[in-house]
Amino acid sequence: MNASLHRGIGMTSLRTRERMIERLREQGIRDERVLAAMGAVPRHIFVEEALASRAYEDTALPLGFQQTISQPYVVARMIELLLNGTTARVLGKTLEIGAGCGYQAAVLGTLTREVYAVERIEPLLARARKHLAQLRLNHVRLKHADGNLGLLAAAPFDSIIVAAAAARVPQALLDQLAPGGRLVLPLGSSGNGDQILTLVERKTDNSGYSETRFDAVRFVPLVTGIE
């Protein structure tokens, strides 16, 4: 994809995006594949027009429906954890839970050919569809569904990324992770700032899972059901 060909993306946004990439480097993001993907996706088309000038700041921004578009650093960090900074690992078939308006799904879509993203709020999903179509990321498949159930029809997944905080890892997601697969999610209750970005790896011999804890983060809660 050549995002710079996209209508309405001028030099200003390219330069601010370059600055965003520099900042991500300073914040410790090392994987060049992740940095390139973050640089290829114009974040401003995902936020409302009134906020577009702030699209490249390292901050979460409101999406409506009491949801937020994730902070660039957190998007980059989660994907980097899935890749583990080794050039050997690729994302493979990837599932995102909580697509929101589709920003992280777009970044994933520049890194792998097989992406499924589910979102429980239908109007947000409609916006995600529009944004991904604008960027011609037609291989990113969006579903209106409760992510607690994973996406059985497309399982197993090599990578699963959860963009909403859960007190524990939903069992369906553990089940739908391929042997050797990786899942990253904010673990902990929402609101009081004690969520921890956690990496769950399914052992290649299928003998169980291991869990590693990383940064403290703040996400909206993973809730049940669709609307």
Give me the active site residues, please: 70
Q: Is the peptide bond before 123 cis (omega within 30 degrees of 0)?
A: no
Binding to ligand SAH in span 156-185, by CB under 6 A: 163-164
Chain-centre distance of CA 212, in angstroms? 19
Q: Residue 204 half-sphere exposure, CB side, CA atoms within 13 Å?
A: 0
Stretch that binds ligand SAH, among 8-16, 30-38, 96-104, 193-201 (CB under 6 A): 96-104
- How far apart are CB 225 and ligand SAH at their closest, in Å? 7
Which one of 37, 42, 55, 67 is in contact with ligand SAH (CB under 6 A)? 67
| 61 near ligand SAH, rule: CB under 6 A | no
Query: Would you count residue 112 as binding ligand SAH (CB under 6 A)?
Result: no
Strand partners, 141: 116
Under rule CB under 6 A, residue 68 binds ligand SAH: yes
Provide the 8-state DSSP code for 221.
Answer: B
| Region binding ligand SAH by CB under 6 A among candidate stretches 82-90, 116-124, 189-197, 203-211 | 116-124
Q: Does 151 bind ligand SAH (CB under 6 A)?
A: no
- Candidates 31, 146, 158, 201; binder of ligand SAH (CB under 6 A) is 146
DSSP string, 32-84: HHHHHHHHHS-GGGGS-GGGGGGTTSSS-EEEETTEEEPPHHHHHHHHHHHHT
Shortest separation between residue 48's beta carbon and ligand SAH, angstroms: 13
- Residue indicated by tokens 């569809």: 129
SS3 13: helix
DSSP 165: B
Radius of gyration of the chain, Cα coordinates, nearest whole angstrom: 16
- Establish if 118 lies at the interface with ligand SAH (CB under 6 A): yes
Residue choice 147, 150, 181, 186 for contact with ligand SAH (CB under 6 A): 147
Q: Footprint of ligand SAH on this chain (CB under 6 A)?
A: 67-70, 97-100, 103-104, 118-121, 124, 146-148, 163-164, 220, 222-223
